[in-house]
Chains A and B, each alone.
Chain A
Amino acid sequence: MVTSEPDMIERSSGASLEWQQEPGPSAPGDDPARHALVANLRHELRNTLSAIIGFSEILLEDMEQADGPGPSIDLQYVNRAGKQILEVIIDILDPGKIEANLSNADFQRILIILQERLRIPLSTLISHGEALCESAQKAERQGLADDLHVIYGLAKQLKEIVEQLVFPASVASTIPGNANKKPDKAKAIHDAADIIQAMGSLSSPREAPQGCILVVDDDEANRSLVCSCLKRAGHKIITAENGRQALELLTAHDFDLVLLDIIMPEMNGYQVLKQMRNTDRLHNIPVIMISAFNEVDSAVRCIEIGAEEYLSKPFDPTMLRARVKACLEKKMERDETVRELSTDLDSKASQLQATSEKLGASRREIELLEEKTSSIESAVQQEIEKIRRVSISDILVMVVCGFILGLVFNAANPGSVRLLPQSWSASSPPFIDPDSAKAKFDAKSVLFVDARPAEYYRQGHIPGAVSLPTALFDFVYMMKFAGTDPEREIIVYGRDISRLHDEETASRLQARGHRNISIMPGSLAAWQKRGYPLEE
């Protein structure tokens, strides 16, 4: 469809009037409304262009790898025209260039200029698209023809959008959420994706880490393009049409990477990204944001929220694969590091467990030692207490030790004493009672011998008695008894509780040959008790 410039200007003014009549929260000419309109228009155009450029580049790449004959020149024209159109859109629909206080008329003029500048590259795109289809059919390469038909269909769709720029109703339908489904386009895209997948199997995938990737995009053309591009690299791809579906899939499955579009119905890309970063399980999944917005602010916002990369549509498939590869490599390195750290942590935990067990054992040992120390302390305390009081056992120990030492010393001593009285082992002379002794005393037929020590003899004795103490026996006997008749009757007296002097002296006299000896056991006390005479 060819339209002259004056016609366009007319339609532009008419469209301006229609905008003012459209219901909505903001009146036409209001900055936010116009900003949204321009952003959505740019998004729609770039989405379509992204698909055209992407498919054409994939086909060019496949043709180069297949190294076969094909309509590569027309395809290069299509690719170049697509890029040219993209440059024009970026140049004219730059938000910085559309001033805030621009009137509706001026805005319409900008749109007309856009139409005018796109006319030639669009014509080039359409004509080379037609040529591509024809040459593919002539070459009887059905797969390639179908693929090229898809590009041709997308080119025509782009032309329709550009031609309807001055008609607000058409433009409004491009706003996400209000956009009508395009069944023809979807079908074409599906077919193209299958064709590209089939072609992709011919060429060998490059060596790269393979992972499970979630592609989230409301635009089916872009979704299929990304899927095709990544499936050829050997990745497992799962797709989602909106943010909510993406989150459900993320919750149910494990993914290595997420490719996330920003503008989507129900939940946009920012919301999904925020939700992921706030969920522990999804926090570490890398996210590449893909958007038709070519604004620095949008990219910065995505990076700030936590996106790994930012790609603007249309993207180069090689660049997409490279970034996906880089992201997956980073994630695998991170996972490896986490695994190593986890192993290290397990090792440290087991060491800690062992140390803890050792500490427990030591603690028990210390408690045991404390108990023993306590008991020792208690015993020592008891001993100290013993020091402060008189202990019968101590006294007994002292007495027993004293006796043992004494007995040992006495046994070893040449001048030892007899432990038991001698009288127990020797035969004792006969006893005589004091009355019989008195009778013999009166008859003066007997010799009395006082065996007590001389001090006691001097204190008092039987009249006529001779002192013969045991201690001085030999000396006194020699002096006083040397000439005494051995047959003479002798009565020996003198004993007390501690000494049996009479028995000892009598034994010694017997040993000297005296045969008529008797003992008066009552000693001087019995004599005195009967009132018999004493001599002092």
Chain B
Amino acid sequence: MLKEILTHRYLALIFRLYLGGLFIYASMYKINYTSEFAETIASYQIVPYWAVNLVAVGLPWIELICGTLLLLGIRSRSAAALACFFLVLFTTGLAVNLMRDAPISCGCFHTLGEKISWRTLVRDLAWVIMILHVLFLDRAFHLERKFSLPFRTVRI
């Protein structure tokens, strides 16, 4: 029973919609305050100094595209894979900086947000689990399939 609930496709749909919305929301602030986001990226001390600004310019838009595709169910598997990659990257960066005891803020939604902590790491890990659930179990309400299905019925 528990397994059925945990592996239910509607649960995957809920996760997909939640994460899609989350990515869109997160990207909004980063797009509007690019320089602050660049500082946040730099504070993690993972990205080389010459690539920090480039990442700060491109990453929020990739997040926006990813979130939109997840929300609409278009190329959702690929979008989920990319989102998963980002979440794993963020979580890893977070873990490394936690271990370094770096006095930095998370920067997930606001530049002047909360300082990173183990709680932040757990939250990020939860998002990683959700995106993995979406990646492997998401089957419901794909807008793309709604449009592509009629082609299969066309026969001369």
Residues of A near any B CB (own CB < 8 A): 366, 369-370, 373, 376-377, 380-381, 383-384, 386-391, 394-395, 398-399, 401-403, 405-407, 409-410, 413, 415-421, 424, 453, 455-456, 458-459, 471, 496-500
Contacts and interface: CB of A to CB of B under 8 A. Distances in A.
Contacts of A405: 61, 64-65
Contact of B52 (A377, A389, A499): A499
10 contacts: A370-B156, A387-B76, A387-B144, A398-B75, A405-B61, A409-B61, A410-B34, A415-B35, A417-B56, A417-B57
Interface majority SS (helix, strand, loop, mixed), chain B: helix
A459 B46 CA distance: 20
Contact of A420 (B53, B77, B82): B53
A402 B42 contact: no
Contact of A497 (B46, B58, B61, B154): B46
A390 B78 contact: yes
A80 B56 CA distance: 139
A352 B51 CA distance: 77
Contacts of A390: 77-78, 81, 135
B59 A498 contact: no
B50 A420 contact: yes
Interface in B46-91: 46-50, 52-54, 56-66, 69, 75-79, 81-82
A87 B10 CA distance: 115
A381 B151 CA distance: 9
Contact of A403 (B61, B63, B145, B155): B61
B81 A395 contact: yes
B151 to A, nearest CB: 4
B156 A387 contact: no
Closest 5 CB pairs of A and B: A402-B62, A455-B103, A394-B78, A498-B42, A403-B58
Contact of A498 (B45, B60, B79, B155): B45
Given A388-B77, A420-B53, 12 more contacts: A380-B148, A387-B77, A387-B144, A399-B82, A402-B58, A402-B64, A409-B57, A416-B34, A453-B43, A458-B103, A498-B47, A498-B49
Contacts of B56: 417
Given A390-B81, A417-B35, A497 B59 contact: no
B31 interface: yes
B17 interface: no
Contact of A398 (B35, B43, B79, B148): B79
B142 interface: yes
Given A387-B144, A403-B62, A471 B39 contact: yes
B119 interface: no
A424 to B, nearest CB: 8
A391 to B, nearest CB: 5
A386 B62 CA distance: 20
B44 interface: yes
A414 to B, nearest CB: 11
B14 interface: no
B81 A380 contact: no
B65 A496 contact: no
B64 to A, nearest CB: 7
B27 to A, nearest CB: 9
B59 A402 contact: yes
Given A409-B61, A498-B43, A419 B53 contact: yes
Best-surrounded residue of B35, B62, B104, B135 (most CB of chain A within 10 A):
B62
A384 B103 contact: no
B101 to A, nearest CB: 8
Contacts of A498: 41-49, 52
B152 interface: yes
B13 interface: no
B156 A373 contact: yes
B38 interface: yes
